[in-house]
Amino acid sequence: MKIIITGGAGFLGQRLTKCLLNHKTAVNSRGQEERIDQIVLFDVVPGRDFQDHRVQYVFGDISDKQQVTRLIDEDTDSIFHLAAVVSAHAEEDFNLGYRINLDGTRHVLEAARALSHAPKVVFTSSIATYGGVLPDIVTDETAQLPQTSYGASKVIGELLVQDYSRKGFIDGRALRLPTISIRTGLPNKAASTWASSIIREPLCGQDAICPVQPETPMTCMSPSKVIDALIHAHNLPVASFTERRSILLTGLSVTAADMAKAVERHKGNRDIGRIRWQPDEGIQKIVDGWPKETRSRRAELLGFPKDESLDEMVHAFIEEDMDDQVRLYEKTGTEEL
């Protein structure tokens, strides 16, 4: 089995690759377990060296149709389409956001459509597809009305996955992801980046800036549960998706203040960094338009994972990722983020 991961050098792409390598097999289009022979990571930047003969890097731009067409060849069984420009960056640069998030998705789907078989395509959507006046809990029945260009491009991507699947060009599955916390790495231009840095940096002895008010809620999901969900979506029988190809995932609702308190609970004997509350009106407006909580009965019935508590998420970061994060700070010389 050959699997392609767009955005393969990114945070999710690297974690997904590691997990797939450990699994060694995946479910093919016939519903059978098959050995993973090759994982191709497509990105504009390099990623880690997995030192595994099954992993290959291809450098390129998802908005370049010819490159994507060459990438997705007849040997391709499955595609995890993760490549995207993040929320606030897409809002700042309208042309870039749509070139990557919309045109890039079209290129992936068109390249898949050109194959003699229908590959599986797992598309990462977002809770940014919701907006406007929302209920306290967003469910499977809540209408999508994005208030950002990023969210709009993700809604369009979901509809394209639905239609290409309806026509039999692909076997598509789209997941509406909550905010991922706690990410490793450095802060980026995502409007949600604070939901990781407010925990990650202080526990590693670094100062962090929080651009939203303490009472601001965010619906979150841990990296491990997101990766489990992506693989679970890929391996589910096609009959699970015949009605709707998009699935909302259940997130854990926590406020910025909750996260700050969790840092205190888990600091142990560490010298923790400070959280600096510096509200940013633009970021606050974007975040205020997102769901405060998501709850999906459909995801539950289909066996998708969910997080049970914020403390569990913080403990997992400390046990699994914090040492690597500290080494990253030592390498970059970062003192305040």
Catalytic residue ranges: 150
Q: CB–CB of 252/306 below 8 Å?
A: yes
Pairing state between β 33-35 and 25-27:
antiparallel
Q: CB–CB of 175/125 below 8 Å?
A: yes
Please tell me the distance from the alpha carbon of residue 221 to that of residue 225, in angstroms, as a whole number.
Answer: 7
Q: CB–CB of 251/221 below 8 Å?
A: yes
Please tell me the distance from the alpha carbon of residue 299 to that of residue 292, in angstroms, as a whole number.
Answer: 18
Q: What is the 3-state secondary structure (H, E, C) of the chain?
A: CEEEEECCCCHHHHHHHHHHHHHCEEECCCCCEEECCEEEEEECCCCCCCCCCCEEEEECCCCCHHHHHHHCCCCEEEEEECCCCCHHHHHHCHHHHHHHHHHHHHHHHHHHHCCCCCCEEEEEEEHHHCCCCCCCCECCCCCCCCCCHHHHHHHHHHHHHHHHHHCCCCEEEEEEECEECCCCCCCCCCCCCHHHHHHHHHHCCCEEEECCCCCCEEEEECHHHHHHHHHHHHHCCHHHHCCCCEEECCCEEEEHHHHHHHHHHHCCCCCCCCEEECCCHHHHHHHHCCCCCECCHHHHHCCCCCCCCHHHHHHHHHHHCHHHHHHHHHHHCCCEC
pLDDT of res. 336: 45
Please tell me the distance from the alpha carbon of residue 219 to that of residue 215, in angstroms, as a whole number.
Answer: 13
Reported pTM? 0.93
pLDDT of res. 24: 96
Q: Phi/psi of residue 152, each to 5°?
A: -65, -40
4 closest CA partner among 45, 64, 62: 62
pLDDT of res. 333: 64
First to last CA, the chain: 41
pLDDT of res. 337: 46
- CA dist 305 → 72, 120, 181, 207, 246 (Å): 30, 21, 15, 32, 16
Q: CB–CB of 16/50 below 8 Å?
A: no
CA angle (265 as vertex; 264, 266 as ends), nearest 5? 95
* Furthest C-alpha separation in the chain: 59
Please tell me the distance from the alpha carbon of residue 82 to that of residue 303, in angstroms, as a whole number.
Answer: 22
As averages over each run of 10 residues, the pLDDT of the chain (337 residues) reads 97 96 93 96 91 96 97 98 91 95 98 97 97 94 95 97 97 97 86 92 94 96 97 96 93 96 94 94 91 96 96 94 89 59
Please tell me the distance from the alpha carbon of residue 115 to that of residue 117, in angstroms, as a whole number.
Answer: 5
Q: CB–CB of 17/8 below 8 Å?
A: yes
Burial of 11 (0-12, 13-18, 19+ CB in 10 A): middle
